[in-house]
Amino acid sequence: MKYSPHIKTGVLFSKFIYWSLLIISIIVLSCKQKPTYKGPVFSELPVTTKLPFYHFSIHPLHNPAKLVEEYQPLMDYFNERIEGVQFTVGTSRDYANFEEKYTNRKSEFILPNPWQTLQAIDKGYNVIATAGEPEDFKGIFIVHKDGNIKAPIDLKGSDVSYPSPTALAACIMPQYFLHTHGININNDIENKYVGSQMSSIMNVYLKKTVAGATWPPPWRAFQKDYPKEASELKVIWETGFLINNSVMARDDVPIHIKEKVTQILINLHKTAQGKKILKDMETNRFILANNKSYDKVKNYIEKFEKEVRKIETK
């Protein structure tokens, strides 16, 4: 059958309307349907966890980046063995910043030096362990191998660097050593408090100071990380030793968490993984201790303040 031109045009127009309406219906229905794509959703909001965080703050043995490098494996070790909590490293840019953390009770666990330990006890922290052998807690003096320093008396009129006036092994004990070897540390030398153990050593290397005080773990780390620079320096004197740094828990930490942390620490040297962690931290082992273990530090500090200077924080 043949259609007239007018009928043929009408049929075509009807088909056009039909297909147009069909396409519009599909678009409308698509807009009303919920998308079924289950891919990743990105947000500017941070991912949160319900696990409580425990901050384990370390006094400035090294710069913050190196502290994280050395102590993060210990945090991972805790996290693998203590359920229901998350441990993280707390670093500080200098001694004053670290001391502010325990003064204001910002960290649940801290690793302070023995003098800071006494201060933290007054703020509600309690000793659970000692970090290392007592024989390793001593002050040492670093000088250039090609320098003219032979005896402490040769430091008169010179600059000497230290991490901080509150660094026990790396400042207080070295200053007492100089005091007992004929140096008036308040008048005979210029004391430079440079913020960290690394800075104290580097000030000597760069010849900004004639001698620098530190203690064995940072010096060992410096020799390992910067062998070329270390080859130009040497240890010229060392002090006697005292008790090592402590590990402390804030008094509101649950007892079962504190006990688990303590047991992990004092048994760390008994496993291969633990020995590797200790080696990287330049620590031989952790030893069980309590607040009374640091009474000897009180006596040392009293003698130092009576004979040399007052220890003041910022």
* Position 265 confidence tier, pLDDT thresholds 50, 70, 90: very high
Q: Is the pLDDT of residue 175 over 70?
A: yes
Q: Is the pLDDT of residue 28 over 50?
A: no
Q: Is the pLDDT of residue 154 over 60?
A: yes
The reply to whether 205 and 193 lie within a common domain is yes
pTM of the complete model: 0.78
The reply to whether 288 and 254 lie within a common domain is yes
Report if residue 35 sits inside a domain: no
At 50 the pLDDT is 75
Report if residue 13 sits inside a domain: no
Report if residue 43 sits inside a domain: no
Give pLDDT tens digits for 62-92: 888 989 999 999 999 999 999 999 999 999 9
> Which residue, of 196, 224, 241, is where some domain finishes?
241
d(CA 195, CA 202): 11
At 313 the pLDDT is 61
The reply to whether 218 and 172 lie within a common domain is yes
* Position 49 confidence tier, pLDDT thresholds 50, 70, 90: low
At 231 the pLDDT is 98
The reply to whether 250 and 293 lie within a common domain is yes
The reply to whether 251 and 226 lie within a common domain is no
The reply to whether 154 and 292 lie within a common domain is no
Report if residue 23 sits inside a domain: no
The reply to whether 124 and 260 lie within a common domain is yes
The reply to whether 163 and 203 lie within a common domain is yes
Q: Is the pLDDT of residue 34 over 60?
A: no
The reply to whether 61 and 146 lie within a common domain is no
- Number of independent structural domains in the chain: 2
Report if residue 11 sits inside a domain: no
SS3 letters across the chain: CCCCHHHHHHHHHHHHHHHHHHHHHHHHHHHHCCCCCCCCCCCCCCCCCCCCEEEEEECCCCCHHHHHHHHHHHHHHHHHHCCCCEEEEECCCCHHHHHHHHHCCCCCEEECCHHHHHHHHCCCEEEEEEECCHHHCEEEEEEECCCCCCCHHHHCCCEEEECCCCCHHHHHHHHHHHHCCCCCCCCCCEEEECCCHHHHHHHHHCCCCCEEEECHHHHHHHHHHCHHHHCCEEEEEEEEECCCCEEEEECCCCHHHHHHHHHHHHCHHHCHHHHHHHHHCCCCCEEECCHHHHHHHHHHHHHHHHHCCCCCCC
Range of the structural domain that residue 234 is part of: 138-241
CATH code of the domain in which 108 resides: 3.40.190.10
